[in-house]
Structure 1
Amino acid sequence: MTDPQLWLSVLEIGSFFGLIALAYQLTLIGAGFFNFAIGPYAMAAALGASWLTIQVKIPVALSLLLGLVIAVAASALTELLVVRQVQKRSGRGELPALVAVTAVLFIVQQGAGAIFGRPALPGQVLVSFGPWKIGGAYLSGPAAVLIVSTALIFLAVSLWMRYSRTGRLLRAVGDNRSAAALLGLPVGRIRLIAFVLAGLIAGAAGLLYAPKTGVAFTSGLAWTLVGFLALVIGGTGRTWAPLVGGLLLGAIQVFAPFYFGSMGPTTVVLLIALLFFAFRPQGLFSTRVRL
């Protein structure tokens, strides 16, 4: 555990997990809803960008931009055509919408496989630079971009949530949708903004992480699970709580094999998830309510 290269890997993997968890958090706060299709949005963005670059020969910058468009469009359509319609017909019930969005997860996954192909593709890098030697470790260019971008995204979202009118409205709608509607707040528009931002962050996460591992149409389900677990561990009480959960989950992924073998990460992650569900379902950081 003293190897600095391993700790850089924790930062890199944890940053990705944190971004996926942040996308979850935005839909949860703004719409009161767990969007389990977050992972497939990230996968579709990364796989689409790689396919457009490799197969269609589109410039990398344009491919990355179109990848973000794919993720944002998929997220917005999920809210407009699936979640909103199902909740409207089921009396705003959460279970039917959760079942419907789970179906969206597999639709996006299989659709990406049908359109972009089933073989894994390498992630695309806009500009190649690095690596740099930091102490006894080497930091690659894509890893540096991922870590720095994650810090900037969390900072921007935190400031937006705290100081912008839209960010405050998003929190108000998430706290009590019925009361917000009675006060005349634009509930539907705020929910859509939450889904659009979640899709944008998920797409960025997939594009930033794909150069490390590559991407396949099956990647979305695994990314959905780790993002959800990172949110469960970190909680939703602070904007940066998902990043803490992601980094802890990244540390487990990196260090568990040294102590428990190849099955270690899965076993330890599931055990920790069970402990949090049983004893601290609100996560490490929960919202404090003063009476």
Structure 2
Amino acid sequence: MTNLQLWLSAIEIGCFFALIALGYLLVVVGADFFNFALGPFAMVGGLGTSWLVLEQEVPLWPAVALGLLMVLALSAVTELAVVRPVQRRSGRGELPALVAVAAVLFAVQQGAGLIFGRLSLPGQRLLDIDPIEVGDAFLQPGALLLVAAAVVVFVAVGGFLRFTRTGRLLRAVGDNREAAAVLGLPVGRVRLVAFLLGGLIAGIAGILYASKSGVAFTSGLGWTLTGFLALVIGGTGRVWAPLVGGLVLGVVQVFTPYYISEIGPETVILVLALLFFAFRPEGLFVRKVRA
């Protein structure tokens, strides 16, 4: 495993998985809920941006802004019009809300196919520079931007949760929603912030990753699963835990077909996930809940 080019690719893919997993983590921290629609949200960000640029001739950066606004709107609708009413009617039960979000996942996917078309579109290059030579390998501009964005986002989220009032409120509400409501904390507003932040990060990830592999309306389901598995492996105990899980999956995704061509990376990822579910379901880093 000394091929530097493969390692650069693994880090790029791992950072993408990690950003989706970080979106999951923020919703878990702030709303104590798994938003399985984050993969399609990332797809809408990438596909919507490319569709605006290629089909509607919108300039690149306004298209990026509009793509992210679409994702934020979907995030708000998911929380306000789906998850919150379903949990209220079901006595705050988790299963009905999860089923409802699964329906949102497929609805967003099919809606994107109707609006943006059912053909894959190339992603947009946000950094127009030549590839950077790293030893005997080359770092593509899109990969550089994705890795740099992942570092910035993880640092920013860590600082946000630790040092800002809203970040501390997110952790308080996620730890004990009933106690937070008794204390008069704005539970509804905090939950909405968690959904919006999770969706925003997923949208950024989708736009950045689309430049590597393109994006289609069917991409969201796979991204949902890999992002969730990255969170399962990393755990919820630290802000950077999803980064660890994402990088592990990135290494598996890249090196499995290169060294074990008889076994697909999806099989190895599934086996790895089953091992974690069986023997360490809390992930590598356990979340500490304050009483």
TM-score (norm 2): 0.98
Taking the TM superposition and a 5 Å limit, the aligned residue runs for 1:255-270 are 255-261=255-261, 263-270=263-270
Q: Aligned runs of 1:172-183 on 2, under 5 Å? A: 172-183=172-183
Which one-letter code corresponds to 2:11 in the other structure?
L
**CA offsets per residue over residues 108-152 of structure 1, 9 Å max, x none?**
000000000000000012331120101111001111000001000
- The residue correspondences of 1:1-291 to structure 2 (distance < 5 A) are 1-261=1-261, 263-288=263-288
Distance 1:213 1:262, change over 3 A: farther
Q: For each residue in 1:220-258, what CA deviation from the matched residue of structure 2 results, as whole angstroms up to 9, or x when unmatched?
A: 000000000000000000000000000000000011113
Unaligned runs of 5+ in 1: none
Superposition misfits of 4+ residues, deviation over 4 angstroms: 288-291
Distance 1:73 1:173 in 2: 22
* Alpha-carbon distance between aligned partners in 2 of 1:234 and 1:28, rounded to the nearest angstrom: 14
In the alignment of these two chains, the number of paired residues is 291
- The superposition leaves residues 71-97 of structure 1 with CA deviations (integer Å, 9 ceiling, x where unpaired) of 111011100000001001111000000
Give the alignment's Cα RMSD to 1 decimal. 1.2
**Same amino acid, percent of matched pairs:** 64
1:56 partner SS: coil
Distance 2:213 2:175 in 1: 37
Q: Residue 6 and residue 47 in structure 1: after superposition, are their counterparts in 2 closer, same or farther (change >3 A)?
A: same
**Paired AA for residue 158 in structure 1:** G
Shift of 1:266: 1.1
Distance 1:127 1:119 in 2: 24
CA distance in 2, matches of 1:78, 1:26: 15
SS of residue paired to 2:133:
strand
Contact 2:175 2:289 in 1 (8 A): no
Tell me by how many angstroms 1:273 deviates: 0.4
Question: What secondary structure does 2:138 align onto?
Answer: strand
Cα distance, 1:126–1:258 mapped onto 2, change above 3 Å: closer
